[in-house]
């Protein structure tokens, strides 16, 4: 249970101590953040960053859908932006500007209304634009950075700059750029797409629901697909569907999902991730790499 507002805070946002991260991650597991900040505005966010010590650990949080926080929690501060960086607008015949807190599903819906695409794949990404930018998230054959023109970023001094696509090294589920900068917004380019429609998104989401354990606490896909292979197939053929450690379970519906069926701890989830990696490597000679980010201290 959090301890309430920090009295000495000079920001307009909400600053909490020892905030349980299980309340803010889609796995519904994890220990507390030493500090948890929800800015009231972009100016408030910049002021807060300037107030931090230069070595203060900072973790940015969207919808918490690709994150496992260990049971011992996090030192430093978690900055939650999804309630403030929510602006989404069309800025040209082929371009939109989306702030980091915009849910990817919302971006997909608006692009469909504007007749822009291909963008429906964003509906299959269970997070925000900021998280999608940070890891080049993708679904159904589409990837975020295929559409990036430029990005706005902020650093520890609160300075905001615009950077072009060419200033980043982008790969499969990976993005490398200047250190100690965080995404605020992106300009994304699409094409006029006569097939873009809300129905196309509904069809895609129906496919997703049929194939994935939607509605159960999970992080989405746990592992990256190795070149030329599918992680789910490797996990399933290694006999791991339904395998569990405590309440952490390899989904019977999609083997690249680990679900929390009630009261799984972060330690149980991480142990099951390790078991999957070891078993797949033993059975197939392939070492899986995680998509999910694992942070914090053990209990």
Other CB atoms closer than 10 Å to residue 87's CB: what's the count? 13
Catalytic residues: 173, 221, 291
Contacts (Cβ under 8 Å, ≥6 apart) of 155: 49, 161, 180, 181, 182
CB 5 within 8 A of CB 19: no
Residue with tokens 């999608």: 132
Spatial separation of the C-alpha atoms in residues 142 and 124, rounded to whole Å? 10
Residue 218 burial (CB < 10 Å; 0-12/13-18/19+)? buried
Spatial separation of the C-alpha atoms in residues 56 and 6, rounded to whole Å? 17
């Amino acid at each position: 249970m959090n301890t309430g507002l920090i009295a000495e805070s000079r920001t307009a946002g909400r600053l909490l101590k020892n905030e349980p991260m299980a309340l803010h991650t889609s796995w519904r597991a994890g220990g507390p953040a030493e500090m948890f900040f929800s800015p009231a505005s972009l100016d408030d966010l910049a002021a807060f960053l300037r107030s931090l010590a230069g070595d203060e650990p900072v973790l940015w949080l969207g919808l918490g859908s690709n994150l496992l926080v260990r049971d011992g929690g996090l030192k430093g501060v978690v900055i939650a932006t999804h309630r403030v960086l929510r602006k989404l607008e069309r800025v040209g015949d082929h371009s939109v500007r989306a702030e980091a807190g915009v849910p990817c599903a919302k971006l997909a819906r608006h692009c469909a209304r504007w007749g822009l695409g291909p963008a429906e794949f964003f509906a299959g990404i269970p997070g925000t634009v900021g998280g999608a930018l940070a890891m080049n998230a993708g679904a159904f054959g589409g990837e975020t950075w295929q559409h990036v023109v430029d990005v706005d970023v902020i650093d520890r001094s609160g300075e905001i700059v615009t950077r072009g696509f060419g200033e980043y090294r982008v790969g499969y589920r990976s993005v490398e750029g200047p250190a100690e900068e965080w995404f605020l917004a992106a300009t994304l380019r699409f094409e006029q797409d006569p097939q873009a429609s809300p129905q196309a998104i509904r069809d895609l989401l129906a496919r997703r629901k049929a194939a994935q354990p939607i509605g159960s606490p999970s992080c989405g896909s746990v592992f990256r697909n190795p070149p030329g292979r599918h992680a789910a197939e490797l996990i399933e053929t290694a006999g791991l569907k339904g395998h569990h450690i405590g309440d952490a379970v390899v989904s019977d519906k999609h083997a690249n999902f680990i679900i929390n069926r009630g009261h799984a701890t972060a330690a149980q989830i991480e142990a099951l991730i390790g078991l999957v990696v070891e078993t797949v490597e033993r059975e197939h000679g392939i070492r899986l790499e995680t998509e999910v980010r694992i942070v914090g201290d053990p209990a």
